[in-house]
A and B are shown apart, each in its own frame.
Chain A
Amino acid sequence: MAAFNQLNTYLYLAVILFCLGLYGVLSRRNLIAVLISVELMLNAASINFMAFNRFLAPHPAVGQIVALFIMAVAAAEAAIALSIIVALYRKLKSINIEQANELRG
């Protein structure tokens, strides 16, 4: 399969994944779903790194390290986001993003 040996294949995959994530973030009203979508976007970035590393970078490990970093950051981000969601739920009894409108002028 020649397609798997090309950079472009992976970049298309990443773009698709990123757009799915972005769509999720912009359209879903449930905060947990938004959080999941953000994870998708992060994974798209990871794939980009891995792909460029595989096909372009002189040193084979750099992209993998960055991918590992992204995982760690994603884990931390998920923890923080979840705690924010819990706090929001305690206050509003809901995790609908449209309910969080206290700052409206």
Chain B
Amino acid sequence: MPALDPLFVLCAACVILPLLAFGGIMIFTWRRPFLSLAVSLTASTACLLIAWYIFWQRWGDPTPLILNVDWMVSDLVRVPFGFLLDPVSQLMLVLVATISFLIQIYSIGYMWGDPGFGRYYADLSLFAMAMLGLVISSGLLQLFICWELVGLASYLLIGFWYEKFSASEAGKKAFVVTRFGDIFFFMGLAILVIFYGSLDIASINAAALAQKMEPWLITTCALLIFGGICGKSAQFPIHVWLPDAMEGPTPVSALLHSATMVAAGVYLLTRIFPFFAASAPAMTYVLAVASLTYVLSSTVGMVARDIKQVWAYSTISQLAMMAMGLAAAGLAHGTLFAGYFHLTTHAGFKALLFLCAGAFIHHYGTNSFFMMSKGGAKKLTIPMVTVTIGALALAGIFPFSGFFSKELILGNLWHLDNKLWVGIGLLGAFLTAYYTFRVIFVLLFPRPEDHPAWEKYYEPVAGGHGHGHGEEEEAHGHGHGGHGGDFPGHAPEWAINLPLIVLAGVTIILGFLQGTLERFLLGESHPHEMNYLLLVLAVGLALAGIGLAWWDWGRKGATWEGFLSKVPALENFFIQKWYMDHFWRWFLNAVIYNIFSKTFTYNDRRVVDGGVDAVALGCIGSGRFLSFLQTALLQLNLLFMVLVLAGVGIYLLMGR
């Protein structure tokens, strides 16, 4: 075996260390919160350093570096195990390592006093391992394995407060729904292996670029793989798991929604972007699905009352926007930069938004931002300032990072012949600005005590809640009440505030690094011709959205009724989340349970069970019958045996 490249060892360490932390905590230290924290933080810091080292080491070197060792070799199919280091994966590596590190810091404060502290950090480590492994895998099979591990870790984290029914249900839903998408992903991989013979990312991309693959193969596989992306990145119609996933602790939502889990889908799209781009039908389909998702999630975000729900729907919409950017680039022979850049900036500001939401939730013990406002949310200075920065980035206002990346995506959409797409993009930008600043203005400008709006939005802080609301009280009982056992004093404030400040800084700076990042990713920087019409349109619509939000929610005499309430039917449609949950419920009942489950149950009862029973009964019967041969005269049997042997012996020796 040749000497291993030191980079290979580093990459492997990056994946293995969090796994070791997970195993170590789960087996040895999960009862001891601070030891677990130390183990997990050590691993995560090591990953952070390694990621940045690799990033720095390979800065300015766009040639992909593939480090492989053979894993499985079977006749014609070789499955290597290894790492692919190119600018795309290196940037994502840094992103994932950084965000998961910051979230581990933040969680010290947020999860302080939780009885499952050790388990929580174990799960976070598993999550980091899976995601880091996914990012730097060199082959799609390895990527798929990590992909499933990400799903597993998210299941564990979403259902972290498993004693709550809704949380364990949400975990199950996330798991099953994403698995549903993964079936398609796996079928795509199988077809690729059968007809192309390799799952190596670099070779697939090269073959698609050189048009060595048949178009039908590319289209079929791209569509099937996009099924997996739909599940993971919460695109229509299997986005329904993501809003429910808010049942997990808020830092988990931040992790899930920024750099990991949901980003994995878009990352995969970027990873094999040349492959996707080789099929125009697939790209059109992606564009259509993403646009529909974009509109759907933006509109639902306008009526949600739970701050995490709003951010969740904004995540769906921003992911859809990334997919739109990539699809448009694929159709117009552009580069993957726009979508990928939005993925990067989004990771920063979405983590920031969620962590701020967590700070509010932690403080006020409710998820409804109306109730937070009533409690005086604007007195929490650091979270309030940072959440505003994040919201400005999300709405796409200069000079925050979201502005630059959104501008690029809209630019990509503009290049398409059909102007419908850019229209949807602009509409989405307007809605995004509106629902984002609805939250901000409500938090900033509470109504006076006797205002009628409080009646409408009142929610009891503790006790029986509707689905998806106020889910964190129970855990906070542990957090603020007894300070059970090992936790001295109150949760450290700095642990919550430090990541907020860092992420806010990133949000402000990242946009200006656009040129640098593009040079890094593509090896060259394209001068962007400024499209002033589009620029004015986009910023104007975003500002209009903010203005409308101000009129509805912010100004002194605002009634706190969205402009949507003029059209109750539409508003209700949005509040019911476009009846997607109802649709799936109906689909499950009518199709899955009534047709498939029934048939399979019948088959199981009558055919499988019946067959097994028949075999067993047959054995018993024949045993009864055969037992008549047993005379219980041992020596008589033996005598016959000897005689027969002797006879055979005599025949063999002399008979011939």
Contacts and interface: CB of A to CB of B under 8 A. Distances in A.
Interface of A: 22, 25-27, 97-98, 100-105
A100 B634 contact: yes
Given A103-B627, A105-B627, A26 B632 contact: no
B629 interface: yes
A25 B626 CA distance: 26
Contacts of A22: 642
A98 B633 contact: yes
Majority secondary structure, B binding face: helix
7 contacts: A22-B642, A26-B635, A98-B634, A103-B630, A104-B630, A105-B629, A105-B630
A93 to B, nearest CB: 18
Interface string B617-656: 0000000101111111111001100100000000000000
A25 B635 contact: yes
A38 to B, nearest CB: 11
Contacts of B635: 25-27, 97
Contacts of A27: 635
Contacts of B638: 25-26
Contacts of A102: 632
A26 B642 CA distance: 10
A101 B632 contact: yes
A26 B635 CA distance: 5
A5 to B, nearest CB: 26
B642 A103 contact: no
Contacts of B624: 105
Contacts of B626: 105
Nearest to B646: A22
Nearest to A102: B632
Contact of A100 (B627, B629, B632, B639): B632
A103 B632 contact: yes
A22 B632 CA distance: 19
Interface residues of B, number: 14
Contact of B639 (A26, A97, A98): A26
Contacts of B633: 98, 101
A100 B624 CA distance: 19
A100 B632 CA distance: 7
Nearest to A104: B632
Contacts of B639: 26
Contacts of A98: 632-634
Nearest to B625: A105
A8 B487 CA distance: 92
Contacts of A104: 627, 630-632
Interface in B580-638: 624, 626-635, 638
A97 B634 CA distance: 7
Nearest to B634: A97
Contacts of A100: 632, 634
Contacts of B630: 103-105
B640 to A, nearest CB: 10
A72 B642 CA distance: 25
Given A97-B634, A102-B632, 18 more contacts: A22-B642, A26-B635, A26-B639, A26-B642, A27-B635, A97-B635, A98-B633, A98-B634, A100-B634, A101-B633, A103-B627, A103-B630, A103-B632, A104-B630, A105-B624, A105-B626, A105-B627, A105-B628
A104 B631 CA distance: 5
B301 to A, nearest CB: 76
B626 to A, nearest CB: 8
A101 B639 CA distance: 17
Contacts of B629: 105
A98 B637 CA distance: 12
Nearest to A28: B635
Top 10 A-B residue pairs of the complex, sorted by shortest distance between their CB atoms: A101-B632, A105-B627, A104-B632, A105-B628, A103-B630, A105-B630, A26-B635, A26-B639, A97-B634, A104-B630
A35 B605 CA distance: 52
Contacts of A101: 632-633
A26 B634 CA distance: 9
A104 B632 CA distance: 5
Nearest to B629: A105
Interface string B350-376: 000000000000000000000000000
Nearest to A99: B632
A19 B156 CA distance: 73
A25 B642 CA distance: 11
A65 B335 CA distance: 81
A98 B631 CA distance: 11
Contacts of A25: 635, 638
Nearest to A31: B634
Nearest to B631: A104
B22 to A, nearest CB: 49
Contacts of B642: 22, 26
A103 B629 CA distance: 10
A104 B626 CA distance: 10
Contacts of A105: 624, 626-630
A104 B634 CA distance: 10
Chain B CB count within 10 A is highest, among A25, A26, A27, A105, for A105
Nearest to B642: A22
Contacts of B632: 98, 100-104
Nearest to B632: A101
Contacts of B628: 105
Residue from B624, B634, B639, B642 whose CB has the most chain A CB atoms within 10 Å? B634
A105 B625 CA distance: 8
A77 B111 CA distance: 66
A44 to B, nearest CB: 14
